Amino acid sequence: MALYVDGFVIPVPKKNMKSYLKMARMGGRVWKEHGALAVFECFGDDLKPKFGMPFPRGIKVKAGETVVFPWILFKSRASRDRVNAKVMKDKRMAAAPTPMPFDFKRNVWYYVAAVVTRRGATYYVDGSAIGSVTYRGIPLLFDATHKVEIGTNTRYDSEWFDGAIDEVAVYNYALTADQIAAHYATGTGN
């Protein structure tokens, strides 16, 4: 029987491991409750292999960081898609720590999208939903007294995007998850 795995390689500052583990345990419970067969959290130990591309070099781990390799086991790709859809709607996933205990990989382009409606928002990275929120009242994006900012948040002087932004698009309608995935696939040539 063929199974399906989602896996990630994440650089995590060693000082944030306690926060990461708390988040990972909660996420693991949520994934298993919604149908994942198993959730594994693997942490860097012997990170200087004699062959192949070691994780630290591949994701450019900085001093004071370690590598975490979480992976989730599913019955099939279809099962993974169903489980992930349920997980993204689970209210517990909106309670992710701020700031996150890890950073995105460095020197890697990401396709990032946010679909904002009057009821809430769903956030996507590389064509897959990573989280969502539900709004009470009118979202700032629909309030004419606020402006949309990309790369900064002028309400907080310390919040500046450190990277490059390319090909920004704003739509006057909400894209579907399939449209987001298609945009990502087109941009990557898949």
Domain ranges of the chain: 4-91, 112-188
- pLDDT, residue 83, reads 92
pTM of the model: 0.52
Of 84, 91, 78, residue with least CA distance to 4: 78
> What's the pLDDT score for residue 30?
93
- 154's CB contacts (< 8 A; 6+ apart) are none
pLDDT for 66 equals: 82
User: Could you tell me which CATH number the domain at 4-91 has?
Assistant: 3.30.70.100
Asked if 28 and 39 count as a contact pair (C-beta separation under 8 A), the reply is yes
pLDDT of amino acid 102: 66
Q: Which of 101, 92, 82, 80 has the alpha carbon at shortest distance from 37?
A: 80
Q: Cα 27 to the chain's mean position, in Å?
A: 12
d(CA 148, CA 100): 23
Q: Quick one: pLDDT at residue 34?
A: 95
Q: What is the pLDDT along the chain (190 residues), one digit of tens a residue?
A: 467 888 777 888 888 888 888 888 988 999 999 999 989 888 876 666 665 655 556 666 778 888 888 888 888 888 888 998 898 888 887 766 666 666 655 556 777 777 877 777 787 877 887 777 777 766 656 666 666 667 665 555 555 565 666 677 777 788 888 988 888 888 765 5
For position 32, what pLDDT does the model report?
95
